[in-house]
Structure 1
């Protein structure tokens, strides 16, 4: 596929002040008691960021900006709602005959790629229904829409069973060529007609492209049809593809996939051979378990696999469309896999409905991944796993991905010297847009990440998942996030649009963040959490709107900030319950908007503002506290704490933040554990209240603990002997412990927990009466 400069886009509009309608039963309710209290900021297209993101040959039109007599839904930011999972957090729902959405083309096009949602059904097996397509007022058939590959339920790794609740991943996509080329100004309408049987249709967006005719066969090639493959008949062509690859490799020729739809139900192993199609709109390889793999393929759930590294592989200009409807982590059901090094290139591919678009296992060196579209996956979009180096990943689109969009995972061996450049990641369902797990000397530059959903943010660097700790210099430069960051469904606090996590070990390798835009972040813009994180340097970072904080500090460490400017913060510049000096900020020149007094207290609801369009809906007024300690009778609120150990994501500061939805947890199976709070000066203490999260999911448990006190932090005397305390959700999951005496430092020593093999504490409250 030839990369072309992006055509002009529809202009972004200001915030459309629309209350989300109550939709048909098929539509997920969007009530969000923990969500925003003000209208969401104006959306921005991920393709409207100059000189960043992938160059793509299509023009994207958002449905909510098109003509419609349907129901515009959104803005909303909660996963599991149709508006929250839409690009730009808005969409259009068509319920009932005659409802339509109509796009006006701004460039010539002969194709449509539609992102949509239809209700689930058949016990999670999905429904399939048509939606009528009109071109310039004339019906031109219909598009076939299905919920078969969407609608995940329950907890990780998710399932098709609606009985497990928590529906999400509500959207899928389909594409079709028009019978003729339409010119700019033409009308493309999607309309519910009498034979369109879904209870409702939600349209998120449509991409319109002028697709070139099928490319001609290369002169020096071996066609899969010469070895028995027959297009468009549904017969199994796996053996023919294997035979064509073997013949082409032996003769030093290319494998040719002509226009047509071919069925392959196995992995085609490629090494020192190029496989080329007539264009991914024309040459389609599809089937259950379809994939193209280099040598070095791991076993699939303990079966099969091979060793080695493939070199000089080319995969170009065809589509791989799978039949994966459930995520099974040990199963190799990815579109492209194995080890592809030594100058291999993957370009112009369309990858859909597999588990992972590209899961590559190292170690190997030297690969280019360029100009591909990876959509509708049930795990990562792309993962470079273990010891992979000198890979260039550029101008790729990743959309509707169920785990990290792009990940470098340095498990056991460091990924290094890789460049992630000019990619666009839109609506990753879980985890991050772009994530670096350990490694060294990797560069992430000029990318755009938009509309992240759960358990991750836009850009992430972490010592996690048994990765080789970060070293060398990690560069994050000239990237943009739009509406990134989430309310994490496990932690129940915000994850940053850009965040750092050292839960597996101290993060000391240098990280440079330069010339970066964090736009309309859902919660905090920048976050530090877990472990100790140092040697991070920000220069030229623009925070343009954040629902809560500019910077959220939840772990000790240090960072330098120069020319970091924040506007439109919903709550405060910095969240910090760590205590004085726990995180050292070196302030250079040019900072503004975020570096005033810090906030510590209960996790606040986000507030979203659009500086260009004043909200006109009724909102709830809330006062933001910007003092370092929220006043009240609890003497421990926001005070410095130390813990003998911490499990990643559950730091000690969680136990003094005023929010019982967050908690401290020690490492497993290493009793005794201690938790100490510094009240700042010796005060009379009469009562300690200990709390666990009140949710009924926390079964009753007994923790055995004692209380001691100190005036100087070094010599402790016992205040309360070791006793078993029962925490029961039926009575609020809290206990009250009488205490006598004065102390500056109070320490809990936990020696047992009947509900979990670790010490757990949501709130440590201290009262003088």
Structure 2
């Protein structure tokens, strides 16, 4: 993060399955029962009462589908993580480009939906002001409607804080969303196509993903509430409704009655200041506040209290970044037991920027998208705050941030949130603070000048002096090449810039998957100490497991790394500058390196040296899965231990397991294993084998067939493949007679003899 946004009193500065984990305290007690149950037998004892299934990331009401995985006659872009390129800002670093009439991307619904959100990019114009056009939507072969698309809220240029002048170069922030209610429910199996037709005149369209959702009808007005239309608000958006909203809010506060926003689009051109009032809409698809300058704000001094905002959307009209303007979706100081729920915010500067001091607020179920700066920021003396079940995508700065500027933030929890594609800075950042908990979140696809999770004494924050806990978080394709430093920033990183970092920090049960550069990174001139790492998995990193660029020390236990593109530890500081305390159970990162910065190993882990003849090409490589149950993650299938295993989420097929061999290899067979134990009763799994040089457009190498695993015969299956060159090998599981999930203890891939 080179800059921050929000306050006027400071300088600048797919569907992917949710991962399910059991708390570490229950793993040992539950291990035997889970092993037995997974083998298809009755568990010896019921799960403990303190052993709930825990969801990582937000529990979202929509299903995301990646364009590169859909049927298309367009051009697949990527994978590519080069900042300033279109696929780098796409989810999963791949997208589909449509250039000519008749080119399309087509999705088959896996469950009913009556709405669509399309994440797309179209080009800017020479003036930098953007163009507007349309893209055709077809349902089961029939033209349904034209979707409006525009580049007016995308394409920023130059250096921070950026401009709309294309001549400044450094183009980025390419994507935006368009959404539509379809007027009817489309059943599972419906084919939904995005197609370029005559009249769709943009030079090209790049489709990243779509969200399909079954949206509820508009909610009914609560009994006894005051509708903003009673005070003259215009649901068509033709007239400015700012004064009507002010009057309705004042009446609601005075009469202790809910203020109701019916279905409609209401134009608001300034802040609506709220205190001791409830505002409720008919749902964020139905009740929308829009306009240049729209925002719901608390008071600054004293903070507003007892504010409840529910079930509506705020769509602003911010087209440039100006850190001197208060043009955020929700802002000011709001505390005293306030709750903000089911609010959708787009095209404002920051989604929610809170300027303390303030105490006591919960934000839940928010969607914060396509912003110029942060998704949400707790700035200056915020306490007793919770952000949960919130989805941030395409923020222009940190996705979620805690910034102890001037006054320390304390007792703040960020839990079960999903942050994707912050265009600048970090997914989740903690700048100072006391008693901060960041738990059960998912961060994906960071772009520049930041990583996935970050703690730093920087940006003039009051240094952290109390515990900070990073627990049960998943980081996918996080970390970047910093354009100023010209070296990689970690997926998880710590920066002691303004002062030493010595507050206790616990990093526990973290999954780092396919980091772009180092997995874990320490940097700064001041010491970084008092950090404890427990049970951290680095499953693929472009360079190192650890990158040491600060003095200090940290304790590591149960930290494992596979699929590194370079050595285990980067350290050019000299002996003893940073003490790596080995507390046991660590593996895969015991080598050290000092020298020129290596290029990252391809898309995540590097290919390494050519394997020995007859070697298992999959062992230790980067691997991903469509889902997992408990601690039985995909890395278990390539760890060389036949007694550990991957298991997908129970009760749902198809499921996929994909291994990245690190480079294109010639292969002719794959061996699948289950644990060689009698408790794993004989079973048949229906498995297809696919492969390719990229993760999209894979070819079928062995069609789906019933593969019999018999513990009396070693519990393994060998599948012959046609001699072919591939980098990615994918197993697709569609049935299992022994347990309702895909299972594999080892996936072994071999070259022709």
In structure 1, the residue matched to 2:661 is 614
- Which of 297, 310, 313 pairs up with 1:316? 310
Shift in Å at residue 50 of structure 1? 7.3
Alpha-carbon displacement from aligned partner over 1:725-756 (angstroms, at most 9, x marks no partner): xxxxxxxxxxxxxxxxxxxxxxxxxxxxxxxx
Paired residue for 2:193, among 189, 195, 198?
189
Q: Match of 1:593? A: 588
Alpha-carbon distance in structure 1 between the residues aligned to 2:360 and 2:476: 31
1:514 alignment partner, SS class = strand
Aligned length: 565
Mapped to 2, the partners of 1:444 and 1:173 lie a distance apart of 28
- Alpha-carbon displacement from aligned partner over 1:294-330 (angstroms, at most 9, x marks no partner): 000xxxxxxxxxx221000011100000000111111
Q: Alignment partner for residue 543 of structure 1, among 521, 525, 538?
A: 538
Query: Residues 355-401 of structure 1, C-alpha deviation per residue, up to 9 Å, x if partnerless?
Result: 00000011111100000100000000000001111111100000000
Q: SS in structure 1 opposite 2:145? A: strand
**Matches of 1:442 and 1:616 in 2, distance apart?**
41
1:58 aligned residue (54, 62, 83): 62
TM-score by length of 2: 0.74
Structure 1 residue aligned with 2:417: 423
TM-score computed with the length of structure 1 as normaliser: 0.72
Pairs within 5 Å for 1:108-257: 108-257=112-261
What is the deviation of 1:9?
A: 4.8
Which residue of the partner structure matches residue 486 of structure 1?
480
Q: How far apart, in 2, do the equivalents of 1:313 and 1:345 lie? A: 6
- 1:74 and 1:308 map into 2 onto residues whose CA distance is 51
SS of structure 1 residue aligned to 2:661? coil
The within-5 A match list for 1:344-363 is 344-363=338-357
Alpha-carbon shift at residue 79 of structure 1 (Å): 1.7
SS of the aligned residue for 2:251 comes to helix
Deviations 1:402-448 (A, max 9, x none): 10000000011111111000000000000100000001110000000
Choose 50-59 or 249-258, whichever is displaced more.
Answer: 50-59
Measure, in 1, the Cα distance between the counterparts of 2:326 and 2:550: 37
Offset of residue 147 of structure 1: 0.4
2:512 is matched with 518
Q: Is the 8 A contact 2:361 2:384 kept in 1?
A: yes
Measured in 1, the distance between the counterparts of 2:379 and 2:239 equals 34
Q: Does 1:373 align with 2:367?
A: yes
In structure 2, the residue corresponding to 1:328 is in which secondary structure?
coil
Separation in structure 2 between the aligned mates of residue 588 and residue 488 of structure 1, nearest angstrom: 31
Residue 233 (structure 1) shift: 4.1
- Name the structure 2 match of 1:560: 555
SS in 2 for 1:281: coil
Tell me the equivalent position of 1:532.
527
1:29 aligned partner: none
Q: State how far apart, in whole Å, the 2-side matches of 1:504 and 1:563 are.
A: 31
Distance 1:260 1:335 in 2: 18
Residue 61 of structure 1: how far off its partner (Å): 0.3
Larger Rg: 1
292, 295, 301: which one pairs with 1:291? 295
Residue 617 of structure 1 deviates from its aligned partner by: 4.5
- 349 and 327 in structure 1: CA distance in 2 versus 1, 3 angstrom threshold: same
* Counterpart residue number, 2:453: 459
Query: 1:73-88 residue pairs with structure 2 within 5 A?
Result: 73-88=77-92
Give the alignment of 1:376-415 within 5 angstroms: 376-415=370-409
Which residue number corresponds to residue 755 of structure 1? Answer: none
Q: Which runs of 5+ in 1 are unaligned?
A: 1-7, 13-48, 297-306, 620-769
Residues in 2 aligned to 1:590 and 1:479: alpha-carbon distance in whole angstroms: 20
CA distance in 1, matches of 2:199, 2:82: 33
Q: Secondary structure of 1:246's match? A: helix
In structure 2, the residue corresponding to 1:549 is in which secondary structure? Answer: coil
1:573-722 equivalence runs, <5 A:
573-596=568-591, 598-607=592-601, 608-609=604-605, 610-611=622-623, 612-614=659-661, 617=664
Task: Evaluate the alpha carbon distance shift between residue 462 and residue 616 of structure 1 in structure 2; reply closer, same or farther with a 3 A threshold.
Answer: closer
CA shift, 1:490, in A, is 1.1
For the aligned residue pairs, the C-alpha RMSD in angstroms reads 1.5
SS at structure 2 position matched to 1:377:
coil
Distance 2:484 2:16 in 1: 37
Aligned residue among 488, 502, 506 for 1:508: 502
| CA deviation after TM superposition for structure 1 residue 179, in Å | 2.1
Structure 2 unaligned spans of 5+: 1-13, 19-52, 606-621, 624-658, 667-753
Q: Show CA shifts across 1:194-224 (max 9, x none).
A: 0100000000000000000000001121111
Stretches (4+) displaced over 2 A? 8-12, 608-611, 613-619
Q: How does 1:729-768 map to 2 (within 5 A)?
A: none
Separation in 1, partners of 2:221, 2:174: 39
1:93 equivalent to 2:97? Answer: yes
| Contact 2:418/2:443 (<8 A) preserved | yes
Distance in 1 between residues matched to 2:70 and 2:323, nearest whole Å: 40
**Alpha-carbon distance between aligned partners in 2 of 1:82 and 1:378, rounded to the nearest angstrom:** 18
Q: 1:122 Cα deviation (Å)?
A: 4.3
Residue 141 of structure 1 and its aligned partner are, at CA, apart by 1.1
Whole-angstrom distance in 2 between the partners of 1:163 and 1:500: 35
